[in-house]
Chains A and B, each alone.
Chain A
Amino acid sequence: MATLELSGLTKRFGGLLVVDSLDLTVAEGEIVSLIGPNGAGKTTVFNLISGVFAPDEGDILLDGSSIVGLPRHEIARRGVARTFQTLRVFLNMTVAENVIAAEYASGKVGAVRSFFGTPAARAEAARMRAVAEERLRFFGERLIGYRLDQPAYSLSYANRRRLEIARAMATGAGLLLLDEPAAGMNPAETQEITRLIGELRDDAGYTILVIEHDMHVVEGISDRVVALDHGVKIAEGSFEDVAADPAVIEAYLGTGGAATK
């Protein structure tokens, strides 16, 4: 269960209007892509949803109730998980620990029982590790086996991106906010991630809002595309419609530019 509804969302940084009364809905089980030129305010929208910044105006409804002003961990607990455009894995922790950290909310055992190492605490630790392994298995063999216990800093860029997705899945959230999941990947990897994002929805039932610059990915995954420019929604609809929209073309290429993909 996860539906997201932004209404009249507005954010200013000083005098700069970065998100301007944005309305956006993501229905249960939908994949919506957020596109727009650099600096359009896409990441800021993610930051507003996930509680990094409070919006100046407007509301954010998750499954019908407002999450504005909630602490970040509470927003995550209610079902919003995200990845970061500038990767933020826990570098000095192992791959498994990275994912286990995100399972925090699913734990029941408190610090006292953990300190004494009660059977319940042991069982929970084992369960969390098993879950972590399962989440990582989503990416095939890449992140499991001996690699579970490698420090995250030893991972390649693409694997860090995968780890971030696994981590987001492990929070138990129903809504994933993916910030440029294919950035820094080569064509083969990009194709693979496109397929995997589809599987995230089809097999695992996630609702997904994704920011992406690579139009092949956007085309491949989106049910719906929303284009932003200077914080304003300039187009919305199917990929074909948005890609053909003159306003979008102008935003990307400036006036008079030729329409290419």
Chain B
Amino acid sequence: MEFFLQQLVNGLTLGGVYALIALGYSMVYGILKLLNFAHGDVYMVGAFAGYAVLVAFGGPTDPRIPVVVLIFAMFLAGMAASGILGVVIERFAYRPLRNAPRIAPLISAVGVSFFLQNAALLVAGARFRSYGTAKMVDPSTGLQWGPLRISIIRIVVILSAVALMVVLHLLVKRTKLGKAMRATAYDREAAAMMGIDVDRVIVATFLIGSVLAGAAGVMVGLVFSRVFHFMGFIAGLKGFTAAVIGGIGSIPGAMMGGLLIGLAEAFSAGYISSTFQNLIVFGLLIAFLLIRPRGIFGVPEPVKV
């Protein structure tokens, strides 16, 4: 039971991260029908930006500012760096290809992904960087509930993931921008004809999605402490899968899918062989795609005649 709960917490943490990444994929897909392969790398850059701030303020062992402020600054830096990067990518790599054949922006995305990975490699080198969270925050602090202990850092991560998603939900449902985003996702041309500045909506979408990915990057750094140039690929793949499982283009779907993948991964690592852990997850995904390709929340596209 204790083990089960521990895996549950693991799964929730991972799930929160995947959900945040999935949101970016899903929102962009919803509006541009583009598989933004560079999204995982935007998340990677966020993690590095957090790391840079950490180092700039003295590193984990003796930070020059209070730890709470430092972590806050790291989040801000990660989100800002990723957000700006996302907007820049949209402007230079995707916008010129709005009306090109479908495969062109895909290749362009792959190019951006390649570029970012290697730029990170060039700037930061190939070795793993660690946030060294344990040195920053005493790992034994946190919630103690019977035999189960949840460290304070995990609580922070889960809570901030939830908070970000709530903000996003309110933004999409309650604001004018959110309305414009939904309209654009539904029918870009019609939205443009209704006087919606589609370019602005797309930029906003990239900004929001990338900011969330940047936050996810810092979270992963804080909890799992492994930051490196190639981290975006696998995480991107999983976040992307989460988006698909939830129903690509659907925001609640992305959150749901992220949680499911996180939980599935934590439990299969905990209970089934770790050798075939990835294989099991991939197999499940394939089965899922075959049975319900539109995902949990997706609606099938109507046949147009």
List A residues at the B interface (Cβ < 8 Å).
Answer: 43, 47, 52-53, 84, 86
Which residues from chain B contact A84 at a C-beta distance below 8 Å? 305
B65 within 8 A of A: no
Q: Quick one: which of B87-107 are within 8 Å of A by CB?
A: none
Considering the complex, give the chain B residue whose CB is closest to the CB of A13: B302
Which residues from chain A contact B303 at a C-beta distance below 8 Å? 52-53
Which residues from chain B contact A43 at a C-beta distance below 8 Å? 305
Tell me the complex Cα distance, A84–B305, Å: 8
Which residues from chain A contact B305 at a C-beta distance below 8 Å? 43, 47, 52, 84, 86
- Chain B nearest CB: distance from A201 CB in Å? 25
- Chain A nearest CB: distance from B99 CB in Å? 15
> What are the interface flags for B47-78 relative to A under an 8 Å C-beta threshold, 1 for contact and 0 otherwise?
00000000000000000000000000000000
Considering the complex, give the chain B residue whose CB is closest to the CB of A92: B101
Considering the complex, give the chain A residue whose CB is closest to the CB of B101: A92
Q: Which applies to chain A's interface (DSSP): helix, strand, loop or mixed?
A: loop
- Chain B nearest CB: distance from A51 CB in Å? 11
7 A–B contact pairs at CB < 8 A?
A: A43-B305, A47-B305, A52-B303, A52-B305, A53-B303, A84-B305, A86-B305
Tell me the complex Cα distance, A70–B202, Å: 43
- Chain B nearest CB: distance from A126 CB in Å? 32
Tell me the complex Cα distance, A53–B305, Å: 10
Tell me the complex Cα distance, A52–B305, Å: 8
Considering the complex, give the chain B residue whose CB is closest to the CB of A85: B305
> What are the interface flags for B294-305 relative to A under an 8 Å C-beta threshold, 1 for contact and 0 otherwise?
000000000101
- Chain B nearest CB: distance from A14 CB in Å? 11
> What are the interface flags for B261-305 relative to A under an 8 Å C-beta threshold, 1 for contact and 0 otherwise?
000000000000000000000000000000000000000000101
Tell me the complex Cα distance, A28–B305, Å: 27
Tell me the complex Cα distance, A47–B305, Å: 8
Which residues from chain B contact A53 at a C-beta distance below 8 Å? 303
By Cβ-Cβ distance, the 6 closest A-B pairs, closest first, are: A47-B305, A52-B305, A52-B303, A43-B305, A84-B305, A53-B303
Which residues from chain B contact A47 at a C-beta distance below 8 Å? 305
- Chain B nearest CB: distance from A247 CB in Å? 27
Tell me the complex Cα distance, A53–B302, Å: 11
- Chain B nearest CB: distance from A196 CB in Å? 24
- Chain B nearest CB: distance from A24 CB in Å? 19
> What are the interface flags for B152-165 relative to A under an 8 Å C-beta threshold, 1 for contact and 0 otherwise?
00000000000000
Which residues from chain B contact A52 at a C-beta distance below 8 Å? 303, 305
Considering the complex, give the chain B residue whose CB is closest to the CB of A44: B305
- Chain A nearest CB: distance from B136 CB in Å? 56
Tell me the complex Cα distance, A165–B197, Å: 41
Tell me the complex Cα distance, A47–B303, Å: 11
Q: Quick one: which of B213-232 are within 8 Å of A by CB?
A: none
Tell me the complex Cα distance, A61–B305, Å: 22
- Chain A nearest CB: distance from B208 CB in Å? 33
- Chain B nearest CB: distance from A92 CB in Å? 10
Considering the complex, give the chain B residue whose CB is closest to the CB of A50: B305
- Chain B nearest CB: distance from A197 CB in Å? 22
Tell me the complex Cα distance, A84–B303, Å: 14
Considering the complex, give the chain B residue whose CB is closest to the CB of A86: B305
Considering the complex, give the chain A residue whose CB is closest to the CB of B302: A13
- Chain A nearest CB: distance from B103 CB in Å? 14
Tell me the complex Cα distance, A61–B40, Å: 54
Tell me the complex Cα distance, A86–B305, Å: 7
- Chain B nearest CB: distance from A87 CB in Å? 12
Considering the complex, give the chain B residue whose CB is closest to the CB of A53: B303
- Chain A nearest CB: distance from B104 CB in Å? 15
Tell me the complex Cα distance, A114–B291, Å: 36
- Chain B nearest CB: distance from A11 CB in Å? 13
- Chain A nearest CB: distance from B273 CB in Å? 43
Considering the complex, give the chain B residue whose CB is closest to the CB of A52: B305
- Chain B nearest CB: distance from A209 CB in Å? 16
- Chain B nearest CB: distance from A154 CB in Å? 18
- Chain B nearest CB: distance from A46 CB in Å? 8
Considering the complex, give the chain B residue whose CB is closest to the CB of A84: B305
- Chain B nearest CB: distance from A48 CB in Å? 11
- Chain B nearest CB: distance from A216 CB in Å? 26
Tell me the complex Cα distance, A43–B305, Å: 9
